[in-house]
Structure 1
Amino acid sequence: MKSNIKDLEKRVTDALGAVEYSDHPLHQILADLWDYNQDQWNRVEQMVRVSDAYQDMMLKREKTLGERFDKHIRQLEKITRISDRYQTALREANLELEHASLMDTLTGLPNRRKMLRLLKREFDHRPEQLKLAMIDIDYFKRINDEHGHLVGDEVLIAVGHLIEQSVGELGHVARWGGEEFLVVFSHSDQAEVEHCVESLVKIVKSAKFDVLDGQMIETSVSVGLAVYQPEDTIDSMITRADDALYGAKNSGRNRYHSSH
């Protein structure tokens, strides 16, 4: 087909170039038709070039958009990884803060807030088994006044650890505040708890605490014990343990009193 078109084009150009046909009536019509045909071919070629340029532009644009999309995906993946690490760090920080908020920074024992949570849980499940022991270091102000607060802090730490060791698995120990500690017994019978408290008083009295600069400090504790009564609330039980503690102090300290 292409060779026939080329032959036709050659025949037309030869006819237009032949002198003997210059005066022929169809010569001008053929010339006009030829010019029109050439103009159409030029238009087609121009459209092809424009189309090719447009296709090239679209391919480049698609490539650019693809590259940009891939870049955004990588950025999102990076942000997701950073977010995951941040969320993990945040959860760990919250857990550490929660733990810190429930522990006494000086003695390392649970604090009042944690002990109140424990008490609420025990009251909700088995209040009839509860016994509370409120423990106070005797003449603690005198230790601070005579030896300084650093020595007083060391005595608090040592007594707290001694209480924790003496109670063992029988109960939970917390620093209640100041020089006071609270022990919650939730599974032991009354005789076992009373024996534990009585032994604790003797153990503290016989202990010698090696504190700062090799100073040996002796002290004692007074204990108030409250055993659950059917009409008790958490507050009333703590109050009865506290009243029993002051009964022990008023009776000469270094002993325990029980409130039934």
Structure 2
Amino acid sequence: MVIFNYYLFKQSIITFIYFYIPERLNKMLQSILSNLAIILLFHLSMSMVMNHKKKIPTSLFQITMIIVGSVAVISMFYLPIRFNHYWVDMRMIPLIFIAYIHGWKKALPTLLIASVWRFFMGGAGMVPGILFGMIGPTLIALAFHHRSKFNKNYIEGIVIIIACWLFSDFPIIYIIPNGWEIFKSTAFIRGSSFVITATILYMFITQDRQRRTLNEELEKLATEDPLTNLFNKRKFYEVVHRKITTLQPKHFLAMLDIDHFKQINDTHGHLVGDKILVLLSNILIKYRNERVTIGRYGGEEFIIYIGNSTNDEAKEMIEEIIQEIRSASFPIGNSKTIQITVSIGLTEMNDHLSLLSNVNQADQNLYMAKRKGRDCLICR
């Protein structure tokens, strides 16, 4: 029954548009909806490109964004909206949003491509169309780019759209004969169509940004240790497994454990223990690079991967870490500090063993370092 009623409602809307709306207004609405469809397709394409940003080389990403914007603007040249004897389109809306959100690096190339295309199309409205319908609105939006954090600032967005629309209508008012009369007779429908279309796009972009931000936060929670911001164990294994197939010739794994950490927690409290874990991770992060990956293994244990290195280079780096931690002062509050030491087990990875087996070998070396008296490195 619900489906049947919806079908009747849909049919009644179509019937109303085709039989009760005047033909001139009907064609105008169809043109407006065509422009809206292009703009929403533009958003969909931009969103798809943004979703794959991490997988696309930076230069290709920039070029793709510029092409998508240029195609959207150029497409609307061929779908003008007729107001009496005056023809317009919504070309400025994609330009405004590209400028407002992405800045000049994407907006100006898009503007240049679309302007050149419009120039070669020619026609009486070519010059004012480029100056007032494209260049002006783009520059206005660029002036607000630094504020484009999209914290649901709808009012500012609407004000920018209205300002750009009024600027684009300058030729109507001051150049076309009887321009002020034409402007007054078309201002409501033109202004409302621009504002409604831009608001719809604004809402889509806002929701898309919020979704993307949420996905990034969820991905971060799934791959990072929330206390130290290092890789968690699962992400560490994933990254290292990928690296051992590309980096040559040797790979090393090190397991690091804070000496007497339980005693620190029992004496100073778990908040101090957490603070020490954070400060220690900050020291380790300084050694992170393309060849070195660091993760929190669990508790007070950390794991380090060193790729494309020699035995001496790997040992030298681990010894440097031990020495830096040994000489550091860790504040615990009330202007007090404590010293800590770490024990580390280092192993050269065996290509014939699994990653977990190599981790187990580094872990065995770590416990040998603890049995030896701690504050040292064991490498076998």
TM-score strictly above 0.5: yes
C-alpha contact (below 8 Å) 2:244/2:307 kept by paired residues: no
Equivalent position of 1:95 in the other structure: 216
> Deviation per CA, 1:84-134, whole angstroms, max 9, x where unpaired?
432233223312332343222212222223211211111332375210111
Match of 1:194 among 315, 318, 328: 315
Q: Which consecutive residues of structure 1, in runs of 5 or more, have no partner in the other structure?
A: 1-57
Question: How far, CA to CA, are the matches of 2:32 and 2:368 in structure 1?
Answer: 76
Give the match's secondary structure for 1:143. Answer: helix
Structure 1 stretch 111-120 or stretch 132-141: which is displaced more? 111-120
Task: Figure out how many residues of one structure are paired with residues of the other and give that number.
Answer: 202
Deviation at 1:199, TM superposition (A): 2.6
Equivalent position of 2:368 in the other structure: 247
Equivalent position of 1:142 in the other structure: 263
Question: How far, CA to CA, are the matches of 1:124 and 1:107 in structure 2?
Answer: 27
Task: Let me know the Cα RMSD of the aligned residues.
Answer: 2.8
Equivalent position of 2:335 in the other structure: 214
Return the letter of the residue paired with 1:153. D
Question: How far, CA to CA, are the matches of 1:59 and 1:166 in structure 2?
Answer: 73
C-alpha contact (below 8 Å) 1:128/1:228 kept by paired residues: no
C-alpha contact (below 8 Å) 1:127/1:228 kept by paired residues: no
Return the letter of the residue paired with 1:182. I
Given the alignment of the two structures, is residue 237 of structure 1 paired with residue 358 of structure 2, yes or no?
yes
Question: How far, CA to CA, are the matches of 1:128 and 1:84 in structure 2?
Answer: 47
Equivalent position of 1:112 in the other structure: 233
Return the letter of the residue paired with 1:157. V
Q: 1:255 to 1:188 in 2, by over 3 A?
A: same
Question: How far, CA to CA, are the matches of 1:64 and 1:218 in structure 2?
Answer: 80
Equivalent position of 2:294 in the other structure: 173
Alignment of 1:1-16 (within 5 A): none
Give the match's secondary structure for 1:125. Answer: coil
Using structure 1 for the length normalisation, give the TM-score: 0.67
> Deviation per CA, 1:132-173, whole angstroms, max 9, x where unpaired?
111000110100000001111111112222233356776222
Give the match's secondary structure for 1:244. Answer: helix
Q: Which consecutive residues of structure 2, in runs of 5 or more, have no partner in the other structure?
A: 1-18, 37-192
Q: Percent identity?
A: 30
Deviation at 1:65, TM superposition (A): 5.2
Deviation at 1:183, TM superposition (A): 1.0
Equivalent position of 1:83 in the other structure: 204
Give the match's secondary structure for 1:226. Answer: strand
Deviation at 1:66, TM superposition (A): 6.0
Q: 1:66 to 1:232 in 2, by over 3 A?
A: same
Deviation at 1:230, TM superposition (A): 2.9
C-alpha contact (below 8 Å) 1:138/1:254 kept by paired residues: yes
